[in-house]
Every structure is written in structure tokens, then in C-alpha cells.
Chains A and B, each alone.
Chain A
Amino acid sequence: MDLVQMQKSLQDYTKSLFLEGILDSQFLQLQQLQDESNPDFVSQVVTLFFQDSDRILNDLSLSLGQQVVDFKKVDPHVHQLKGSSSSIGAQRVKNACVVFRNFCEQQNVEACHRCLQQVKQEYYLVKNRLETLFKLEQQIVASGGMIPAVELGF
């Protein structure tokens, strides 16, 4: 594939992520933080996010699967997830977490289960997309191109 075309498709892909609301401006800021001194910053952070989130979702599934749900344990997990997702700009995960926390406060087990599913769904979506994004970037880098700088437009 042509390098220019690859760059264009990367740009389009990034845009589509924003348009679908999967990512927000925070992700752009994250990209801004990446420079020569710290070339893999974004992917590092995102990988960290994936590790953390996998663990948290696991814990959440366990906690909610129990006979008596201890909401005092559930809530910090959700908060954690919300914090990290907002940090990397995974907007839809974050929103799902906000809803989740509301139901935690109400101690609504059934709704929490539904929310967990929703959060998982959103999480896998963003994971999927980001992995694709990184793959695209790696391809560009591999073929010797520059990753087009994303303008911070705010």
C-alpha cells in the first residue's frame, strides 16, 4: 500500500473514532504528550489501560456473580475504570461507567449486571479499535513514514 494512502487511511480512521464518540479530545492530548523523548507514550499508556481494565472487569464479574453483592467493593472498581478510561479518552466506556456507578449507588443488582455487559461491550470495542489504530501506525512506521501529527484544535 502506498505510504500516502496509508497515512490518509490512518487519519480517516482516527477521525472515525472521534466521530463515533469512541474517543474524545483527551486522546488527542495524550498524543500531544508523546514526543522524541517518549516515543511510545501513547501505546504504553493504552497497554497499561488494557491490562488494568482486563483485571478490573474480571474482578467486577466475580463480585457481581456472587450471591450477596458487596457494592462497597464494586463501586471503587467502577470508579477506577471510569478514571482510567477518561484519562485515555475512551469516552463511551467512561459514560457507561457513569451509568454503572449510579446503579451501584442505588444497589440495583440487575441493572448492574446489564451495565457490566454494556461496559464490557464498550471496552472491547475501544480495545479493538485502538489495536487496529496502533497496527496502522506500526505499518506506517515500518514502511518508513511519519505518523501524521494530529492537531490540537481547542
Chain B
Amino acid sequence: MSLFHVLGFGVKIGHLFWMLCCWFVSWFVDNGIEDNNNNKSGLLVGSVGDLEKTNKMTTLKKKNFFNRISTCGLKIPSFSYQFLGSVKFNKTWWRKLVVAWVVFWLLVSIWTFWYFSSQAMEKRKETLTSMCDERARMLQDQFNVSMNHVQAMSILISTFHHGKIPSAIDQRTFSEYTDRTSFERPLTSGVAYAMRVLHSEREEFERQQGWTIRRMDSLEQNPVHKDEYDPEALEPSPVQEEYAPVIFAQDTVSHVVSLDMLSGKEDRENVLRARRSGKGVLTAPFPLIKTNRLGVILTFAVYKRDLPSNATPKERIEATNGYLGGVFDIESLVENLLQQLASKQTILVNVYDTTNHSQPISMYGSNVFVDELERVSLLNFGDPFRKHEMRCRFKQKPPWPVLSMVTSFGILVIALLVAHIIHATVSRITKVEEDCHKMEQLKQKAEAADVAKSQFLATVSHEIRTPMNGVLGMLHMLMDTELDVTQQDYVRTAQASGKALVSLINEVLDQAKIESGNLELEDVRFDLRGILDDVLSLFSGKSQQKGVELAVYISDRVPEMLIGDPGRFRQILTNLMGNSIKFTEKGHIFVTVQLVEELFESIDGETALTPEGTLSGLPVADGQRSWENFKAFSSNGHRSFEPSPPDINLIVSVEDTGIGIPLEAQSRIFTPFMQVGPSISRTHGGTGIGLSISKCLVGLMKGEIGFSSTPKVGSTFTFTAVFSNGMQQTERKNDPQNNNNQLMCSEFRGMKAVVVDHRPARAKVSWYHFQRLGIRVEVVARVEQALHYMKIGTTTVNMILIEQEIWNREADVFIKKLQKEPLVLSPKLFLLANSVESSMPDAFCNGTDPPIVIVKPLRASMLAATLQRGLGIGNREPPQHKGPPALVLRNLLLGRKILIVDDNNVNLRVAAGALKKYGADVVCAESGIKAISLLKPPHEFDACFMDIQMPEMDGFEATKRIRDMEEEMNKRIQNGEALIVENGNKTSWHLPVLAMTADVIQATHEECLKCGMDGYVSKPFEAEQLYREVSRFFNSPSDTES
């Protein structure tokens, strides 16, 4: 019970876990997929609607799938076979699902990887962009600041140089000023001012300045190193329309003084553009003179007057006074700038002049590229003509996308694990199913083998029985020959062994039949008391020999006739009593038959068992223990029993005072071939199969069997059996068997007997048996009481029955008393003795009649016979019903008209001979066709024995035809068409047809019944079997006569 609870708890826990897992997994998958959905749609900006839809679809499917699993989980405690069945059905489907699952998660993990790495890239890009933009903006800002200053300087020059006469600025002032204000122009390496000089003014200008205007073309063409630079070596500028000689210059660029800016190609363009636009313009980067580093020159025009912003280029050119140029050393400047910023290590900056798009000019930075990623930021240096840009790259290659790799790998691993679990589960289930299937097959095989075994046993037993009959027959014949004592003994032993073997074989056959389920119980009326008498007489010899008292008591409330299987009931009783006799050396064996209801009624008044209360005075095992475990009694709580009215519930107990069953053997007492111990079978013989058969038979009778046993005290076996009542109240008087009893009773009716017995249990048995004969019984405990009773009694006492025990003790007293005062009407004296040998007391030396000894066990027929003899009445023999079968058969068959059908002359003759011997009037027919013609109703046959295998028409066919004819006839009778001939009481025709067959196989039997036959007899007739079959159809003649 507790184990069961634990098991149940385990199942519950398991179920809970399963539910939890299902819930978790479904939640996880749902969320995950929805997340994915959102991400994807966000990423694709809803561009691919179809994809989204399919994704949702899969989500739904997944949901359904997991819901299904969890609903399946609900059914787990009942181990739903359907679930397993569906799994079996969808085995391939499962496999596909697993593959799909793996593929799906592979895709998911790839996508995750891609997504994460793209995210990282994006971030990197953003970082680069922000860094690059920051740098570009700073550069631009600083440049603009510088530019503004240069512009401011141009205004300064126009104010103080051209606006004042004489000029307030000379070279020295300019250089000093610019040097001191250079912190305001961090990007410029130097500033210079060139004046516009027309050719007409050249000479005067050169004279004023004291130097000639020199050209810088050659300089540019042959760049020289700083040290070797020699301004004096430069050629004077050739004749031009106008010149732009540098007059002031910062110290850093003082070498450009006197150089004509218009003579340099870059500078000229710049100058021209500057004066035209009125804004600062930049040159393309070029190697600077002297330093030879890359630089750009910013040029502002200086006008004579303040020009309006919408002045035309021409006006501007007219108004130009000179040009102020600032040299920007881009390389060093950018470097300075980058120095100021953090994380300069991570980023690589290049600045390009992209005025000419096809050929960008590098202004700063190396061209070593490590990373693909590049950010281009535009730089606006205030000159719309020139375009600059800054290109940034990371110095290092991007790091490995460890996070995304780990994530996607993790997802993949989980998915694979889940797939593996599913796969393992499915294959496990499949395997278990296969195993189960295999087991089933094995079970079927085993069952088939078991059936085969039983069949084999049945066949072999049957086959052994036949030769055994020969052996026994011959032994019997051998005993009739002249043998000496030793030989006689040998033969007797051999015959006893043979008989034992036959009975063993019968038992094995029974067992085999029971095991193969072929044993069916009959439903016939039988007389329970008669059967008990039979069984009793069977064992009476042995019990007398052993001096064991054998007694039967059947309650009055048990109906006289029951419906059931008397043979099997008898078998059970024989078994139990046989065991008891075998193991009991002294004391008694007491069989009690009661109704179950009665037993329960009597329990209330029952007192504790005392040895005196038992039949022989010896202690017995507690009988109550043998049945208190019966299921039928303990069905509702405490011992109780609800009888169902039409059924008769008998409880039979066999109580003995034998050696008992050892405690250790009690558990296997009902197992076939299990005995208490090997020594038991050696001393007492037997196979140990009897109790197992009894148990099966009791089971078939819807009863139970149990026992209680105390070693050295005795055993009590108790079984219940359910029969139906075979006694209709109205029928009671007409009953033939009952007639028999009544015949016996009538002789003794009204007589009175006194039983002298001091043991109530034993007295009760005596009382029961005399009661059956219709004798009124008075029980007294002592002889004196009996005498006293007779004296004062109003009615005459016909007989006195004295227990041997008492007789032995008090015989002398009794006889003396009887002699002293003889009774008027002396009753007959009977002695109830256990065995014949128990001697007649010697006291009967004088005239008194010796008492007649009634040898126990008491049986109705024997008792009646003895009493008749003793009382000298009723010499009439009561009709013998339990005589040898041959005699009864004669009774049954006498004068019957029987048709025998067989194609075999010899067989016909033999069968006819056999039946004639029993007094039947036999008619023979050689073929089925002839039989049909003879049996066309109306006819006078009482029965027909039909061979099955015949040429032309076999027995089955013939029987069918006969039945057809009978049916037709019956219809006609019902319709009143046919005359009701001779047999006036014959309202319907049904001739008993018995098959004669050599092979008595179950199948043939069934076939017989199917064809309308009523039974079968095996071909060489056996009296016993013939009687059994025939008695089913014919009542005894006395019956029909009455």
C-alpha cells in the first residue's frame, strides 16, 4: 500500500516537472521567435512583408506544437496509449521535425552571428565617424580662426600701409607684429604681403625698395634645400603687365620677400582668384619653398577702399592694392591638432585636397591602410573653389566578434541538445515500443507453448490410459490364476500401482483441461446428500481400518436437490477427504455442509472451541480462520454476507485431527505439484496436484477455498460453492430421487430413538442421519438418563443407540439395570461403532439379545439397511439407483427402441449386441439415407446412435436432415395440421441422436452439438460413458410409469 503511494507521488512529481519543462520551452520559443520577428522587421524596415508573415506562421505552429506536448503531458499519468500510438504513427514525421528543428536553429544562429557582428561594425563605424567628424570640425575651426586673422591682417595692412602716407608699416614692423600675433594663427607658419605693382610703376617701386622683383618659376622648378637657398641667385622677373612682389614677410618666411607672386604658377592663380572674389582662397597643397614641406597658401586681396559685398570682379581688380598670403603647413598643423585629442593612437587620419576629384592630393598622412573601414569628412576652409576632405581609418583591424560567435554557438548548442533530447526520447519510445511488441510476441509464444503443453499432456495422458487399461485387465486376469502368496502380493501391488497411475493421469488430464480453459461445469440436478453418502462409503473402509471416525453433517436448510456439477463437487470433496484420511491416524474427520447465511447466524451464539465440543474429543484447528479471509465475506468491511436469493451458497468444511500442515508449507499448498516436503510424498504418496485442481474447481463454482492448520493438531479446509436451487416447491413430491428417500423414510416414519452420547457434536451427526430417515431422536448424555426417559416417556421408544465409547464404559451397568427391571416393550439396542473389530462386550453371555452394531460412518442407505435388519421390517429392496452402471443402464434401456446407424457391419453388430444386452430393442441401418427414411416422423424410436464417418452421407449431414424433418413436423403439429398420433402426449419431436465416434476430441464434440446431436459416445462402448449420456435423456422406467 505504501509502495503504491510512493509510486503515485513519483508519478505526480514527474508530471509536474514535465509540465514545467513544456511551459518553459514553449515560453522561450515563443518569445525568442517574437523577438526575432521584431528585430527582423525593424531591420528590414518592413520591406519584406512575406517573410514576416511566414515568421508569424512558424510562431503559431510552434505554439501549437508545444501546446500539444503540454496537453500530452496532462495525459502522462494515465500512460496514454494513444500518445504512444501517435508517436509510432508519426515516427518519420518526428524525424523530419527534428531535422527541421536543427535547420531552423542553425539558421537562427547564423543570423544571430551576422546580426551581432553587424551591430559591432555599426558601432565601430559610428565611433569612427564621430571621431573623424570631431577632428575635421576642429581642424576647420582652427583654420577658420587663422583665416579670420589673416583677413584681419589684410585689413590692418590696407589701413596702416596704404591708408597712411607715409606708410606706418615697414618690413621690420610687419615681421615683429606678425611674430607676436602668431599665437592667434596657430595653423599658419608664416604670413607675407605682396603688393600689386603695375609694370609702369616697377622701376619706381624697385628703386623705392632697393631690390628688383624676382621671379619664382625656376625656384619652383628646381626646388632646392633650405640651406642652399639663395635668394640672390634668383633671376629678376621678366617684364610683365603687373607684378606682385612680396614686400613684407614674417620672419619664418622672410625668404619670399621680393619674389613676384604672380610668377609662381600656384600663387598667380591664387592671387588672381583672391582679388576677383574678395575672399580668402587657397592653393592646392604644394611643397613649400625652403622647408619643402607640404603646405597651402591662403591669399586675401587688400583693396584700396572698402568694397560693397556685391562688387563686381572688375571693380575688385581695379581696387586691389596688394595680397596677403598665409602659409599653412598642413602636416605639422594636423599633427599638432591630433596631439591635443585623446585616442589619437586608435585612429589614422589622412587629409586630401580633392578639388580635382580624379587625383586627390594628399595633404597629410601616410598611405598605409590596415582597415577597410574608412570615414570621409568634408572640410570647409572657406574657399568654395577648393575642396578638402579628411579620411579616417582605425589603426588596428577590427577585433574578432567573440560575443556574436559565442552567442550563436551557444544557441546552436542548446538547439542541438534539445534536438538530441527529442531524438533520444523518440527513439527511446520506439525502442520501448518495439520491446513491448517483442514481449507481446514472446508472451503469445509462451501462451501458445502453454496451450501446446496442456494439449500434449492431454494427448499423452489419453494415450497412456489406453494401454494401462490393458495392463490392469491382464493383471486382473492374472489374479484369477493359481498363484502362490508372494505372487499374489506382487500382482496386487502392481495393480494398485497401475490404478494409482491411472488416477494420476486423470488428475493430470484435469489439470491440463483447467489450464487450457477447456473445463466446463455441467448444470444438472443432483442430490447433495447422496453424493456425500457416496464419498463417505468410498472412505469408510479406510477410516474403519484406521479407527478414525468419519462423519457428515448437512444442515436442514440445504435443499435436497441442487443444480450444479455433482462430479466436480464430488471430486473436490474426495480430494479434501482423501488428504484428511491420509494424514489422520486418530481422532475424526468431520464434513459439515451449511448455508453461508446459516454459518453467520450461528457465529453469534458460538462459544469458544473446547476439545470436548469436537466430534472425537480431540482438539482441532480453528475452522473460522480458514474462511475468514474469503473475499465474498469481507467485501463490505467486517464479516458479512449478502445472499442473492436464487443462488444457494454452500460452505463445506472438512475438519480432521491429523498431523497438520507445517507453517512453512502453508503458503504453497495450492500450487500444483508442490507438497509439504519430499518425505511426505514418500510416506503418504500422492502427487500434490489434487488441491490445486480443487482450488480451480472451486473457482469455477464461483467459490473460494481456504484452510487453517495447526501442526500436530489438525487441519480444517473450508470452501464455498454457489449452486442453484434444484427444488421447485411444487415438484417436491414428484421427484424420483425424493421418492426413493420417501420410500426409505416411510418405513421408519413415526419411530422414536434415543441416542446416548455425551458429545454434542457427535450426537448432532447421529441426530441428522436418523432425522433423514424420519425417526424422531432424543439425545441424552448418559445411559441412566436413557432408561429414565424410557420409563417416564409417553411415547414408545423403538430403539436405543449407544455410542461405543459409552458402551465400553457403562455396558455392564446398563445391562444389569435392564435385567433388573425389564421394559415392557423392549426397544432394540444398537451400538454406534467406528470399526467392526471393536469387540462385542463379553457381557452378553446371558439371554439378552446382543446389540446390533452400526459401523460408522453413518450413511442413509447403510443405516436404513441395518435398521431394517435389526428391526426386522421392510424386506422390500429399495430401488437401486446407485448400483453398478450396467444394472442401471438395463433399467434405463429396457424396452427402448433404438436405431443404430453404421456403415460397418461388424461395428453395427457389436453395438447392437451391447445395447441388446441392456435390454434395448435395436434396429440397424447401414447408411445415413436409410436412417433418415426410418426416422421420418412419426416413428417409434426412442434414440439413435449415429456413426459419423460414413460413405454417401455422414452422420452430421444425416442428423441435420433428421432435425429438419422434425422441425417441419413440429410446425405442422403446432398448426394442427398433423394428427397427434399414437403417442398422445407427444407434442413435439426431438429424437436424441448420439454420435458414435472413435476419436473423442473436443472439436468433434462441438461439431456434434452444432449439427443438432445431443451427445457422443466413444466407439467401443464403455458402460460408464454410455450410462452418462443415456441417462440425460431417459428417465428411469419407474419414473415414467409413475
Contacts and interface: CB of A to CB of B under 8 A. Distances in A.
A35 B998 contact: no
Interface stretch (B116-124, B136-144, B418-426, B473-481): B473-481
A83 B907 contact: yes
A18 B769 CA distance: 48
A19 B467 CA distance: 12
B914 A87 contact: no
A151 B907 contact: no
Nearest to B476: A153
Interface in A1-42: 11, 15, 18-19, 24-26, 28-30, 32-35, 37-38, 41
Interface stretch (A44-52, A58-66, A126-134): A44-52
A33 to B, nearest CB: 4
Contacts of A26: 1020
B163 interface: no
Contacts of A44: 909
Contact of A87 (B903, B916, B1019): B1019
A37 B905 CA distance: 21
A35 B474 CA distance: 22
B913 interface: yes
B936 interface: no
Nearest to A14: B477
Interface string A60-85: 00000000000000001001100111
Nearest to A49: B906
A38 B913 contact: yes
A2 B354 CA distance: 162
Contacts of B916: 33, 37-38
Contacts of B949: 79
B903 A80 contact: yes
A52 B906 contact: yes
Contacts of A30: 910, 913
A135 to B, nearest CB: 21
A140 interface: no
Interface in B916-972: 916-917, 947, 949, 951
A49 B910 CA distance: 10
10 contacts: A26-B1020, A38-B917, A83-B902, A83-B998, A86-B1019, A87-B906, A87-B1020, A153-B475, A153-B476, A154-B476
Interface in B824-854: none
Interface in B172-203: none
Contact of A76 (B481, B902, B913, B951): B951
A119 interface: no
Contacts of B909: 44-45, 48, 87
A83 B469 CA distance: 20
Contact of B904 (A18, A33, A87): A87
Given A29-B1020, A76-B951, A87 B473 contact: no
Contacts of A45: 906, 909-910, 913
Interface residues of B, number: 30
A83 B477 contact: no
Contacts of A89: 1020
A87 B917 contact: no
B1021 interface: yes
Size class of the A contact interface (CB-based, 8 Å): 35 or more
B474 A18 contact: yes
B17 to A, nearest CB: 66
B886 to A, nearest CB: 9
B907 A87 contact: yes
A19 B951 CA distance: 35
Contacts of B906: 45, 48-49, 52, 83-85, 87-88
Contact of A25 (B469, B903, B947, B1019): B469
Contacts of B871: none
Nearest to B479: A153
Q: Is the interface of A mostly helix, strand, loop or mixed?
A: helix
Nearest to B473: A153
Given A37-B916, A83-B1019, A86-B998, 12 more contacts: A25-B469, A26-B1020, A32-B917, A41-B913, A45-B909, A45-B913, A48-B909, A52-B904, A83-B906, A84-B905, A84-B906, A151-B480
A150 interface: yes
Contacts of A154: 469, 472-473, 476
Contacts of B913: 30, 33-34, 38, 41, 45
A33 B475 CA distance: 21
Contacts of A153: 472-477
Given A84-B904, A86-B1020, A87-B906, A33 B917 contact: yes
Interface in B461-489: 469-470, 472-477, 480-481
A79 B950 CA distance: 9
Contacts of B903: 80
Interface string A74-107: 0010011001111111000000000000000000
Contacts of B481: 11
A106 to B, nearest CB: 19
Contacts of B914: 29, 33
Given A33-B910, A86-B998, A87-B910, A80 B904 contact: yes
A149 to B, nearest CB: 10
A32 to B, nearest CB: 8
A58 B554 CA distance: 66
Find the residue from A15, A34, A87, A89 having the highest chain B CB count within 10 A.
A87
B501 to A, nearest CB: 14
Contacts of A48: 905-906, 909
B308 to A, nearest CB: 139
Contacts of A37: 916
B457 to A, nearest CB: 22
Find the residue from A26, A29, A153 having the highest chain B CB count within 10 A.
A153
A24 B474 CA distance: 10
A119 to B, nearest CB: 15
A80 B1021 CA distance: 18
A132 B261 CA distance: 171
Contacts of B911: 87
A38 B907 CA distance: 17
Interface in A111-152: 150-152
Interface in B329-355: none
Contacts of A32: 917
Please give me the 3 A-B residue pairs with the lowest Cβ-Cβ distance, nearest first. A153-B476, A84-B906, A33-B913
Contact of B917 (A35, A86, A152): A35
A84 B910 CA distance: 9
Contacts of A88: 906, 910
Nearest to B915: A33
A134 to B, nearest CB: 16
Contacts of A52: 904-906
A150 to B, nearest CB: 7
A118 B475 CA distance: 30
Nearest to A21: B470
Interface in B850-873: none
Nearest to A82: B998
A48 B924 CA distance: 15
A49 B474 CA distance: 25
B581 to A, nearest CB: 25
A79 B907 CA distance: 12
B471 to A, nearest CB: 10
A45 B917 CA distance: 15
Nearest to A11: B481
Find the residue from B470, B909, B949 having the highest chain A CB count within 10 A.
B909
A136 to B, nearest CB: 17
Contacts of A83: 902, 904, 906-907, 947, 998, 1019
B1021 A29 contact: yes
A153 B374 CA distance: 124
B465 to A, nearest CB: 11
Contact of B470 (A11, A18, A35, A79): A18
A6 B591 CA distance: 55
Contacts of A25: 469-470, 473
Interface in B1020-1034: 1020-1021
